[in-house]
Structure 1
Amino acid sequence: MPGPLLHPGYDEEKLRKIAELLPCREVQAELLLALMGQPEHHSYPAIFIYGHRASGKSHTINMLMKELELPHVMVSCVECLSVALLFEQVLLSFFGADAAALLPRCPSLSDFVRIYRQQCSESPAKQTRYIIMEKAEMLRDTDANLLPALLRLQELVEDNVTVILLSEIVWDKFRPNTGCFEPLLLHFSDYSKGELQQILSKDRHPSYSAEFYSSYINILLGVFYSVCRDLRELRHLAALNFSKFCEPLEEGKVKESDTHKLWRNIEPHLKKAMQTVYLREVSSLQWEKMQEMEEKEAGAVRGLSAHTHVELPYYSKFLLIAAYLASYNPARTDKRFFVKHHGKIKKTNFLKKNEKTSNHLLGPKPFPLDRMLAIFYSVVDSRVAPSASIFSQISSLVTLQLLNQASHDDQLDAPKYKCAVSMDFICAISRTVNFDIVKYLYDFL
C-alpha cells in the first residue's frame, strides 16, 4: 500500500486518497506539492513537466487538481488551434462567460493581459490559479512571444497564477532562441517493469484470482517490455489477449496453477501480437481476422525470417510495399495503377514500344517522399485509417536498411529514397497483409 503524501497545507485524508490513485507516482506528486506550496501563498510562476508518453504526467496533475479542489484550467494545445481559443478558455474557466465575451474577434496577447488584469482587480485570487498546458511542444509553432509571455504570466497580470507545461520533449529543445523566464523542471521517468506489473495487476478480471492475473501480466511484460514501455498500450494489449490466455482454463485442460502450460499456449499468440504494438486503430475483432488470414498464409511465408515477418509493424509493411512500387514503376504509371477514376488511357501511350529492358533488371530508381506517401495512402485506404506515426516508421525502415536515403540531409526539397529489398522479400511481405503486389507492377503487365 502506498504511504500518505506529506504536505502541511492540505487535508491528510485527501492526500491519502491521492496516493492510492497514483500508484508508483507518489514521489512526483510530493515534489509537485512542494513546488506548488500552500494554496493561499504565491507559487512559482512556471513549472515544466516532461517525460515520455503515458508516463503519468497528465494523470498526476489531474488528480492533484481535482482531489484538492484547486482552481485550474486544462488546455490541450492540440485542440486550441489558435491563441484566441487559448485565451477564451482561460478567461472562461477563471472568470466566466462574461469575461470571455470581452475578447475581440482576433485578440492579441495585450488584449488577453488587459482583460485578465481587469477581472483580477474585480475578483482577486484567494489561492493560486493553475493553467495546465498539455502537449505544450505545440506552442513552439505559435507566435514567438506567446511562450515567453506564458512563462512570466504571473508578472504580467499581477495575479497569483502558475503555468504548468506538460511535454514529451526536454526543456533544452523547447527553450526559445530569444530567451525567456526559466521554469522549474520536473522529470517523469518511464515506469520500471516492476511498477508496470504493479499497476497493470490492479486491472484484474473479477472472474479470476489476483495471483492468476498477476502471472498473466508477468508473461505479457516478458514479451512486450523490451519494445514497449507505454502504460496505455500495454493495458490495451493485456485486455486484448487475456481471453486467449484463459482458453485452456475454460476448456478444463489446465488449472490456474499450471503456469508453464498456459505460457506455452499464449507465447506464439503474443509474438504475433508484436505487430500491433502502437496500432490502436485495430480492434479486437479486426486483430482476430488478421490472425486468421496470417494462419492461412503461413505456408507461403516460411522462408521469411522471424525478424522481418513477425516484428515489422502493420503500416511499415504497406510503406515498404509503396516504396517498392515507387522504385520499380515509372512515375507516369501511377495514375493508371492508383487513381480509381483515372478515365481511359490508351494502351499505346501507357506502354512505350521502345521499352525492351525490365525495370527490375535496371534496379531500383530513387523516388520523392511525397510520391511514396501518395501510393501508401492509396493501397492502405480500404484497410485502416493511417496513424500519425508514419514518418517515424519511415525512419525505422531506413535504420533497418530496408529503405536507402538517396538524397542528402541538407537538400531543401523533399527527400528521396530507394527500396532495398528483393522481389521475393516484398512478395512475402505482401502476402502477410493480403495484398497482390504483382497486379501493380509495371513489368508484369
Structure 2
Amino acid sequence: SFIATRVVSLTAKLLKLYCMIPEQCSYPSIFIYGHRATGKSHVIHTLLKELELPYATVSCVECVSVGLLFEQVLLSLFGSDSASLLSRNPSLSDFVRVYKQLCVQASAKQTRYIVLDRAELLRDMEANLLPAFLRLQELVEDNVTVILLSEIVWDKFRPNTGCFEPLLLHFPDYSKGELQQILSEDSHPSYSPELYSAFINILLGVFYSVCRDLRELRHLAALNFSKFVEPLEQGKVKESDTHKLWRNIEPHLKKAMQTVYLREVSRSLPLPFSGLSAHAHVELPYYSKFLLIAAYLASYNPARTDKRFFLKHHGKIKKTNFLKKHEKTSNHLLGPKPFPLDRLLAIFYSVVDSRVAPTASVFCQISSLVTLQLLNQVGHDDQLDAPKYKCAVSLDFILAISRTVSFDMVKYLYDFL
C-alpha cells in the first residue's frame, strides 16, 4: 500500500512538471535520492512499466567500463543490433553519434527514459560522463530523460566543474508507524496477527533509533520471532501476557543490537562451526566472503609467497627454500600488513577459481567490507597511488567464513606450513 502511495506521489510530481513545460518535451534529467529500501527503484520501474514507456535500466555497479554502460543503454532502447555500431572502446562522442543515428532509424512518439541505478558510481568514471548524462537530451537531440537513482544527496553528488541541475525528488525514510504496518504484514501463519504486531512494536522500540532499513528490520524480525514465541510453545505464558514475552526476548534483542547490519546468526551453529565462537559467523554475499579470505591471505602471507600458493604448476617448493634468516616470528603475532588493491584482486580471482565467474560488483563489495570495518583502508583518499588495505578480522572469524564456502584456509596460510 505504501509503494502504491509513492507511485501516486511520484506520478503527481511528474504530471505537475509536464504541465509546466512545453508539449512533447520532457525534463532532461531527474535525480531521485533517499535511504536504501525506501522504494526508489521499485516505484520508478513500476511507473514506467505501467505507463508502457520505452526505458533502459542500467546498474552502475555492474558496469566495469563506460563501454559496457553505453552498450546496455543502446541494447535496451534500440534492440540487439544497436550495440554492434559502437567501436571496441567507445568514447562519449561515439555513444552520442550512434544514439543520434539510431534515433533517425527508430523515432519514438513517447519520451525515452534511461534509469541509472547506484548513480553515485558515475563520479568514479570519466569526468565528462555525469555532466553529459544530465544533459543527454541536448546532446543527442532526442526526447530522452535520464533518471539517476542514488542514496546520497545531490550536494555531495554535484561535480566541482558545474553541470546542468536535475529535477530533485526525495524519497523520505519510512516513519515508525509505516514500518510497523509494513512489517506486521509478514505475520506468522501459526500465530495471530495481533501477536506478531505486538512483536514488531517491541522490535521497533529497540532498533528504530539505530536502524531504519526495512530489509534489515525484516531480517531481524524473522531471526528473533522464534525466540519471542518460545514461552508460548512451552506453554508457560499466554498470548495476552506480552510483558513476560518481552522479558524473554529482551536480552536477545540487546545482543542483536551490537551486530545490526552484520547479521550475526544467534541461533545454534551447525556442526562445521563446532568449537568456534558464534561471533565468527557473519552472513555476507558469496563474493564478499572470498574477498575477505583473499584480504586475510594478503595481510598475513608475505607477498613473495604468492607464487607458491596461487600459481598453478609452480612445482614443489619447501618452506626453508624461501625462509629468510631474520624471519623467525609468526606473521600472526606481528599483525596484519597492508596490501595493494591489485594484489587483493589477484588472490581473489585465484581462490574463487571456477566456482562462479566473478562479476563487476566486486569493487562495490570491497567498499562494503570497508564500511563494515572488516577491511581497513590505509592512507588518504586523495593519494595518487592505488589504495591499500588491511584485513581487520581474527583467525577464528576467517576460518568460520572459509568453511561456509568449503575453502581450506589453513592450506594457504604461510604460518601453518
TM-score above 0.5, yes or no? yes
Deviations 1:7-66 (A, max 9, x none): xxxxxxxxxxxx664357865554344334499664433211122322221222233334
Matched, 1:170 2:142: no
Matched, 1:368 2:339: yes
**What is aligned with 1:390?**
366
> Which one of the candidate residues 91, 106, 109 is aligned to 2:96?
109
- Which residues of structure 1 form unaligned runs of 5+? 1-18, 302-308
Q: CA deviation at 1:327?
A: 5.6
Q: CA deviation at 1:75?
A: 1.3
Deviations 1:67-101 (A, max 9, x none): 4x252414124456241331231234xxxx8xx66
Matched, 1:358 2:329: yes
| SS of the residue 2:115 aligns to | strand
Q: Mapping of 1:27-66 within 5 angstroms?
A: 30-37=12-19, 42-66=25-49
> Which one of the candidate residues 64, 71, 76 is aligned to 2:53?
71
* Counterpart code for 1:90: L
| SS of the residue 1:88 aligns to | helix
Contact map agreement 1:45 1:162 (CA 8 A) in 2:
yes
Q: Mapping of 1:420-431 within 5 angstroms?
A: 426=394, 429=397
**What is aligned with 1:304?**
none
| SS of the residue 1:255 aligns to | coil
Output the TM-score relative to the length of structure 1: 0.66
| SS of the residue 1:132 aligns to | strand
Cα pair distance change 1:296/1:350, threshold 3 Å: same
Distance 1:141 1:339 in 2: 32
**What is aligned with 2:239?**
256
- Which residues of structure 2 form unaligned runs of 5+? 88-93
Contact map agreement 2:7 2:46 (CA 8 A) in 1:
no
Matched, 1:277 2:278: no
- Identity over the aligned pairs, expressed in percent? 59
Distance 2:38 2:75 in 1: 29
Q: Mapping of 1:186-201 within 5 angstroms?
A: 186-201=169-184
Distance 1:184 1:28 in 2: 12
Contact map agreement 2:300 2:335 (CA 8 A) in 1:
yes
* Counterpart code for 2:58: S
| SS of the residue 1:186 aligns to | strand
| SS of the residue 2:32 aligns to | strand
Contact map agreement 1:51 1:168 (CA 8 A) in 2:
yes
* Counterpart code for 2:365: S
Query: Which protein, 1 or 2, shows the higher relative CO under an 8 Å CA cutoff with sep ≥ 6?
Result: 2
Contact map agreement 2:100 2:141 (CA 8 A) in 1:
no
> Which one of the candidate residues 334, 345, 355 is aligned to 2:317?
345
Distance 1:62 1:212 in 2: 35
Deviations 1:116-155 (A, max 9, x none): 24543xx644xx5544333333444666655444433444
Cα pair distance change 1:35/1:320, threshold 3 Å: same
**What is aligned with 1:232?**
215
| SS of the residue 2:229 aligns to | helix
Q: CA deviation at 1:442?
A: 5.5
Task: Provide the alpha-carbon RMSD of the alignment.
Answer: 4.9
Cα pair distance change 1:65/1:379, threshold 3 Å: closer
| SS of the residue 2:239 aligns to | coil
Contact map agreement 1:404 1:418 (CA 8 A) in 2:
yes
Q: Mapping of 1:141-156 within 5 angstroms?
A: 147-155=130-138
Cα pair distance change 1:292/1:26, threshold 3 Å: farther
Matched, 1:133 2:116: yes
Q: Mapping of 1:392-407 within 5 angstroms?
A: 392-394=368-370, 397=373, 405=378, 407=379
Distance 2:120 2:128 in 1: 15
Cα pair distance change 1:369/1:198, threshold 3 Å: farther
* Counterpart code for 1:104: L
Contact map agreement 1:28 1:188 (CA 8 A) in 2:
no
Distance 1:44 1:31 in 2: 12
Distance 1:111 1:383 in 2: 38
Contact map agreement 1:366 1:416 (CA 8 A) in 2:
no
Cα pair distance change 1:225/1:390, threshold 3 Å: farther
Cα pair distance change 1:220/1:150, threshold 3 Å: same
Q: CA deviation at 1:231?
A: 1.8
Cα pair distance change 1:356/1:32, threshold 3 Å: closer
Distance 2:415 2:125 in 1: 48
Output the TM-score relative to the length of structure 2: 0.69
